[in-house]
A and B are shown apart, each in its own frame.
Chain A
Amino acid sequence: MKTKKLKKNVNLLLFCLPAFIVYALFKLYPAVSGVYYSMTDWNGLSRAFQFVGLANFTKLFSDDTFWHSVAFTAEYVLALVVFANVLALLLAVAIESRHHFRGTFRTLFYMPNMISMVIGGYMWMFIYTKVLYYLADNWGWKFLDHSWTGDPRYSFWSILTVSCWGVVGYLMIIYIAGLQGVPNDLKEAAELDGANGWQRFWNVTVPMIRPALTICIFWTLNSGFQVFDVIYTLTGGGPGDATQSVAINIYEEAFKGNTRFGYATAKSTVLFIIVTLVTLLQLTLMRRQEDEL
C-alpha cells in the first residue's frame, strides 16, 4: 500500500515537474525573493548588499510620492469598479432585451477589449489632443477646450475613460452570460405578481447574477490595482507625478534612473499586501452575501 502511494506521488511529481520548474523560477521565486530583497539595500547592480531589516519600509512610510501613487490608484480603482461595472451591466441588460442584432452589438462593443491598451491609449491620445481641440475651435464647443492629458484635474477622468473603454466589453460579456442564466419563468412569475420592470430587475435579476457580479468586481479590482499601459501612454504618470499609479511608480523606481532595487521591492511588497487584502476581503464579503440568498 505504502509503495503504491509513493509511486503515485512520484508519477504526479514527474508530470508536474516541467510546469513547476518554469512556475517556480519565474513566479514563485521572484515573489518570495522580492520579500527578502525588500529588506536589503541592494541597488540592482553590485553583488554586495546589506541586510537592512525594515529600514526600507520605515523610509517608505514617509515617501510622499509613493503614498500619492497609492492614493491615486485607490481613487482610480474605486471609480473603475463603479463606472465600468455600471456601464457594463447597463449595456448587457440593454443588449439582452433586444429582439434583433444582439450578436452584432455584443461583437462591436467588445472590440476595444481586443486591442492592447497601448494602441488604445495612443488612439485616445489623438482624440484628446487633436480631435477635441478641433471641435472646440471649429464648432465652438468651448467646454472641450482643456488640457485633457496635461492637467491633472482632467487627466484622471481621461485615463478612467480609456480604461473603461478597454474593460467594459469584457465585463459586459460576463454579465450577458449571467443574464442568460436567469430562468425566464422566474421573471414571468414576478411579472404576474405585479412587479414592474425595475422591481423585476432589482429583486429577480440582480440576485440571480450575483456570481457574475462577484467575478466582475474581483476582476476590476485586481486589474485596476495594476494599471500601467493606459497611464504610460496617456500621461506617463505626469505632469510631475500627479497621475502616477503604483505600478508606474515601481517601474520608475526600478528601471528609470533610480536603481534602488531593494527599495523598489519594498514598494512591490506593499502593493502585494494591499491587493491581496482588498481582493480577499471583497471575495469573502460577496461570497457570504451570495450564500445568504
Chain B
Amino acid sequence: MRKKHISVGYIIVDILLIIGLLAWLFPLFMALLNSFKTDGELFTNILSFTATPSFENYVRAFTKMQYDKSIWNTILLAGLSVTLIVVLSSVAGWALCRTKSKLSSALLNLFVFSMLIPFSSIMVPLYKIVISMHLKNSLVGLSFIYAGLGVSMAIFLYHGFVKGIPYEIEEAAAVDGCNKLQTFIFVVFPLLKPITATIVITNVLWVWNDFLLPLIVISNRDKYTLLLSTNTLFGQYSNDWTGILSALILSAIPVIVFYAFFQKQILKGISDGALKG
C-alpha cells in the first residue's frame, strides 16, 4: 500500500491539475456559453453568462445544417461500416489464426503491414476508383471503403483474441456435427464478444469523426455527414458566430453522449489496443 500523507507538493499538484483542467475544457465551455447569446451580447461580453438564454441560435443552426438529415446519414454510414468491418474481419481473423500455413501467415502480414500506409498517400488513386465504380455521393459505397480501410486493424485484433480461445471448444462443435461456418457463427463468434465490443466502439468513433474521406467522396448536400454540414456552415455564414457555436455544440453532442455511456470501454479499448497489440 502506498502511504497516504498529504504534503505541500501534493496540494500544489492538485491545484495545477485543476487549473489545467479548466484551461483544457475552456474551448468547450466558451462554445457552450456563447451559443445561447445574441450576437450583440456575444461581442459586448464574451465571458459572462447570458441573462436571457435563447435557443433561437440552435433552431437556426439546426435548419441551416440540415441536422436531422446529416445525423441520419452519419448513423447510417457508421452503422453500415462497422457492421461490415465486424462481419468481414471476425471470420477472417479467426480463419487466419486457426490455419497454420505459409499462406495464412503471408496474408496476415499483408494485412498488418498495410496499416502503415498513410491515408493521404492513397486518397488520390482511391478517388479514381470511387469515380470509376460510380461510388461518388454514395453512402453505402463509402461504408465499403471504410470497411476496406478498417479490416486490417480489426483482423489483427481478432487474430490476437482467437489465440486465447481453447481450440477444444471448436473440436467439440465439429464432433457434434457443425461444419466450419456453423462452428464460427454459433460457437466462436459469441466468444469474441469482448473484442467485438472494442472494435465496434473504436470504429464507430473513427467513422463518425472522420472528415477527409467524406470530403472527397460526398459532394451532394443531401448526403452530407454531420461534419461536412458543420463545415459548410462555417464557410457560408462565417460571421454568424452564435449560429456556428450552436452548430458545433449540436455536432459534438452525439459523441459526448456516446462517451458518457461507453466511457469505460472506450478508455479500456485504447490501453488494451495499444499495449497488448
Interface residues, chain A, CB within 8 Å of chain B? 5, 8-9, 11-13, 15-16, 18-20, 22-31, 33-34, 37, 44, 91, 94-95, 97-99, 105-112, 114-120, 122-124, 126-127, 130-131, 134, 165, 170, 173-174, 176-178, 181, 184, 211-212, 215-216, 219, 222, 225-226, 228-229, 232-233, 246-247, 250-251, 254-255, 261, 264-265, 268-269, 271-272, 275-276, 279-280
A116 touches B209 (CB 8 A): yes
Residue of A nearest to B1 (CB): A184
In the bound complex, residues from chain A placing their C-beta under 8 Å from that of B34 are 126
Residue B117 interfacial (CB < 8 Å): yes
Residues of chain B within 8 A of A250, CB atoms compared? 120, 123-124
Which residues of chain B in 72-108 are interfacial with respect to chain A, using CB atoms and an 8 Å cutoff?
84, 87-89, 91-92, 94-96, 99, 101, 103-104, 107
Interface positions, chain B 1-34, Cβ under 8 Å from A, are 2, 4, 10, 13-14, 16-17, 20-21, 24-28, 30-31, 34
B197 within 8 A of A: no
CB contact under 8 A between A134 and B25, given known A222-B118, A229-B211: no
Within the complex, which residue of B42, B122, B266 is in contact with A268, where a contact is CB–CB below 8 Å?
Answer: B122
In whole angstroms, how far apart are the Cα atoms of A120 and B28 in the complex?
8
- CA A242 to CA B209, docked complex, whole Å: 26
Given contacts A12-B96, A24-B148, A251-B212, 4 further A-B contacts (CB under 8 A): A12-B95, A15-B94, A27-B152, A170-B270
Query: Is B161 located at the chain interface by the 8 A CB criterion?
Result: no
**Residues in chain A near residue B16, CB distance under 8 A:** 94
Docked CA distance A254–B123 (Å): 9
Q: A12-B95, A98-B14, A114-B256 are in contact. Are A265 and B101 (CB under 8 A)?
A: no
Asked if A123 and B248 make an inter-chain contact with CB atoms under 8 angstroms apart, the answer reads: yes
Interface residues of B in 213-236 (CB under 8 A from A): 216, 227, 230-231, 234
A106 CA to B24 CA in the complex, in Å?
12
Docked CA distance A116–B118 (Å): 19
Chain A minimum-CB-distance residue to B126: A30
CA distance A271 to B244 in the complex (A): 34
Partner of A173, one of B27, B30, B149, B267: B267
- Chain A residues lying within 8 Å of B122, measured Cβ to Cβ, are 27, 30-31, 34, 268
A97 CA / B9 CA spacing, docked (Å): 11
B128 at the interface (CB under 8 A from A): yes
B139 sits at the interface (CB 8 A): no
B248 touches A119 (CB 8 A): yes
Contact A11 B180 (CB under 8 A): yes
Q: With both chains docked as a complex, state the minimum distance between the C-beta of A158 and any C-beta of chain B, in angstroms.
A: 12
**A19, A29, A212: the one within 8 Å of B275 (CB):** A212
Interface residue ranges, B against A (CB under 8 Å): 2, 4, 10, 13-14, 16-17, 20-21, 24-28, 30-31, 34, 42, 46-47, 84, 87-89, 91-92, 94-96, 99, 101, 103-104, 107, 110-111, 114, 116-129, 144-145, 147-149, 151-152, 155, 180, 184, 205, 208-212, 216, 227, 230-231, 234, 241, 244-245, 248, 251-252, 255-256, 258-259, 263, 266-267, 270-271, 274-275
Check A94–B147 contact: CB distance below 8 A.
no
Q: Interface on chain A toward B: helix, strand, loop, or mixed SS? A: helix
* Contact of B46 with A22 in the complex, beta carbons under 8 Å: no
Cα distance A31–B119 in the bound complex, in angstroms: 9
Q: Which residues of B contact A279 (CB under 8 A)?
A: 116
CB within 8 A of B211: which of A118, A123, A271?
A: A118
Q: Which 5 A-B pairs have the closest CB atoms?
A: A26-B148, A177-B271, A15-B95, A116-B209, A19-B88
B212 partner, pick from A22, A24, A127, A229, beta carbons under 8 A: A229
Whether A20 contacts B145 by the Cβ 8 Å rule is no
Which residues of A sit under 8 angstroms from B26, Cβ to Cβ? 127
Knowing A226-B118, A254-B124, A272-B118, the reply to whether A126 touches B27 (Cβ < 8 A) is yes
16 pairs from A and B in contact (CB 8 Å cutoff) = A18-B87, A20-B92, A22-B145, A23-B151, A37-B128, A122-B230, A173-B267, A178-B275, A222-B118, A232-B211, A233-B231, A255-B216, A265-B125, A268-B123, A271-B121, A275-B121
Is the Cβ of A123 less than 8 Å from the Cβ of B30? yes
Closest A residue to B135 by beta carbon equals: A26
Q: Which residues of A contact B123 (CB under 8 A)?
A: 30, 250-251, 254, 268
Q: Which residue in chain B gives the minimum CB-CB distance to A100?
A: B14
B181 nearest in chain A by CB position: A15
- Complex Cα gap A27–B34 (Å): 43
Residues of B close to A176: CB separation below 8 A: 271
Cα of A119 to Cα of B27 in the assembled complex, Å: 11
- In the complex, which residues of chain B have a beta carbon less than 8 angstroms from the beta carbon of A20? 92, 107
Contact A126:B30 (CB < 8 A) given known A23-B148, A97-B13, A134-B46: yes
Contacting pair B274 A177 (CB below 8 A): yes
Q: Given A34-B125, A265-B124, verify A124-B27 contact (CB < 8 Å).
A: yes
Chain B residues with CB under 8 Å of A5's CB are 101
A178 to B124 Cα, complex, angstroms: 38
Using known A-B contacts A261-B128, A275-B116, determine if residue A15 contacts B271 with beta carbons closer than 8 Å. no
Distance to closest chain B CB from A25 (angstroms): 6
Shortest beta-carbon distance from A66 to chain B in Å: 13
